[in-house]
Amino acid sequence: MKKTVLAVLFAVSACPLFAGNTSLSDYLLIDSFPEAAAKGSAAGAASYAVYNTDQNPACAAGVEGFAFAAMHSVMPLDIKLEKISVVKNFDFGCLGLDLSYMDFGSYSGISADENLYPILTGSTENPYSLYGSIIYGRKFDNFSVGAAVKLIDENLAGVSSYSPAFDIGFIMDSLVLDDLGFGFSACNISNKDGDFTLPLGLKAALSYNIKNRVRDIVKITAFADYLIYERSVRGGVGFDYAVFDELILRGGFTIGNLQELKFTGGISVKAGGTSFSYAYIPDPLAGGTHKFSISGSFGKKQETAEKEAVKGDSFAGYMQSGDFYYDKSQYRQAIKYYEYANLLFWKDIEDLGDREKSAFYQKLGICYYNIRDNANAKQYFDRALYYDRENEILKHWIKSLKQQ
């Protein structure tokens, strides 16, 4: 689809324009995966995950084994962004690679005649940008650091230009409280080219997990970022709400001195060890952006999950080990730990709220269903429904088992 030169000017900035802008490659500001974008501008800076490394390279330090994430974004004017990130854990730390490709579509070339009036040249331009980062992160007890070296190949008018940059950041775990974390990063650090530079930004986020003895329920994140040359300050609050282990709802808002209040939202659905995520970022002037991603991990250190159960035989330890195998779809192993918890720590289960009891028994039902033990599956689904009478998913499971 051919576009006018105005569309190209929009593509160069790729939506997040600010008054008094002096930066090139502003599309770097909308590069995040949907897991972070659904909550707000800098919401991923304090959370360990492969899909947050573009906001803070220290986020790579929490990866165990191997993790990956791939994204497809559809923006206004048919602009598209493809992105893939991978991180591998080694004894000396975590190494990662991030690659992004932005396709600005095509437009008719424009030149000037002898009177300096614009004329169409008849040629077609296909502007794009290709950029990548090599990431390193390392964890030291409750403190993690990270750095990334970035290279941008930008071709907007038939000529390529290259811009190097780097990111640095850190994350502090258990800040005052066990489930409170803080992250900070400086992104797109580079030299000025005349009056222009990459969008140098500082990001900070404070996150808090609300959990029970079975699982995390809500993660609340307060965040802020500052674009130094634009003098733009933005802040907001976002959340992750785990309806149950396989479904996470996300949302948040961002507001700043050069930007109106903006609400964002998204969802993640898990199947085995793989997550499928979506985010929508509205823009009243240009139109909304849709982001889709797939992510997952494997090769986690098994001893990390199992040590908690051996170390004191606690309810939380057995649940952690059961969840480890549940996430890997190793249901027979998961049943072993869940049934231990059910037998040895029934008093702890009784102390849970009704929704948490239902979630525990639903997990057991799913495990038995996947090993084709329908009798036990129905028994635990019935028990889960007793504590959550309005759960339509449980009703569906029970009805389908009756028909078999």
Looking up residue 92, the CATH number of its domain turns out to be: 2.40.160.40
Task: Report if residue 37 sits inside a domain.
Answer: yes
**pLDDT at position 280:** 95
Return d(Cα 158, Cα 148) in angstroms, integer.
Answer: 28
* Contact residues for 34 (Cβ-Cβ < 8 A; gap 6+): 71, 266, 277, 278, 279, 291, 292, 293
On whether the CB atoms of residues 152 and 165 are closer than 8 A, the answer is: yes
Return d(Cα 34, Cα 55) in angstroms, integer.
Answer: 12
Task: Report if residue 88 sits inside a domain.
Answer: yes
Across 153-157, 195-199, 297-301, 330-334, least confident range: 297-301
Determine the 3-state secondary structure of 216 from DSSP.
Answer: strand
**pLDDT at position 288:** 87
Indicate the length of the chain as a whole number. Answer: 404
Backbone torsion region of residue 154, taken as left when φ is above 0, otherwise alpha when ψ lies between -120 and 50, otherwise beta:
beta
Task: Report if residue 350 sits inside a domain.
Answer: yes
The residue among 261, 292, 323 that closes a domain is 292
- Please tell me whether residues 101 and 119 are part of one structural domain: yes
Task: Report if residue 28 sits inside a domain.
Answer: yes
Q: What's the whole-number mean pLDDT along residues 88-114?
A: 85
- Please tell me whether residues 255 and 355 are part of one structural domain: no
- Please tell me whether residues 287 and 384 are part of one structural domain: no
**pLDDT at position 315:** 83
Q: Tell me the percentage of the chain whose pLDDT exceeds 90.
A: 46
| pLDDT of 5 above 70 | no
pLDDT band at residue 195 under the 50/70/90 scheme = low
Query: Which DSSP symbol is given to 25?
Result: -
Across 103-117, 216-230, 277-291, least confident range: 103-117
Return d(Cα 362, Cα 364) in angstroms, integer.
Answer: 5
- Please tell me whether residues 318 and 244 are part of one structural domain: no
Determine the 3-state secondary structure of 345 from DSSP.
Answer: coil
On whether the CB atoms of residues 127 and 156 are closer than 8 A, the answer is: yes
**pLDDT at position 23:** 55
- Please tell me whether residues 8 and 113 are part of one structural domain: yes
- Please tell me whether residues 275 and 346 are part of one structural domain: no
Task: Report if residue 74 sits inside a domain.
Answer: yes
- Please tell me whether residues 62 and 165 are part of one structural domain: yes
Pairing label, strands 2-3, 66-74: unpaired
Give me the chain's average pLDDT, please.
Answer: 84
Q: How many domains does the chain divide into?
A: 2
* Contact residues for 237 (Cβ-Cβ < 8 A; gap 6+): 40, 220, 221, 222, 223, 252, 253
| pLDDT of 295 above 70 | yes
**pLDDT at position 38:** 95
- Please tell me whether residues 357 and 232 are part of one structural domain: no
* Contact residues for 81 (Cβ-Cβ < 8 A; gap 6+): 27, 30, 31, 71, 72, 73, 75, 100, 101, 102, 103
Q: What's the pLDDT tens digit per position in 55-90? A: 999 999 999 889 999 999 998 877 899 999 999 999
- Please tell me whether residues 351 and 251 are part of one structural domain: no
- Please tell me whether residues 284 and 306 are part of one structural domain: no
- Please tell me whether residues 146 and 262 are part of one structural domain: yes
**pLDDT at position 2:** 38
Looking up residue 368, the CATH number of its domain turns out to be: 1.25.40.10
Longest distance between any two alpha carbons in the chain, whole Å: 89
Task: Report if residue 297 sits inside a domain.
Answer: no
| pLDDT of 211 above 80 | no
The residue among 243, 261, 292 that closes a domain is 292
- Please tell me whether residues 34 and 144 are part of one structural domain: yes
pLDDT band at residue 215 under the 50/70/90 scheme = low
The residue among 247, 264, 292 that closes a domain is 292
- Owning domain of residue 208: 2-292
Task: Report if residue 373 sits inside a domain.
Answer: yes
Task: Report if residue 51 sits inside a domain.
Answer: yes
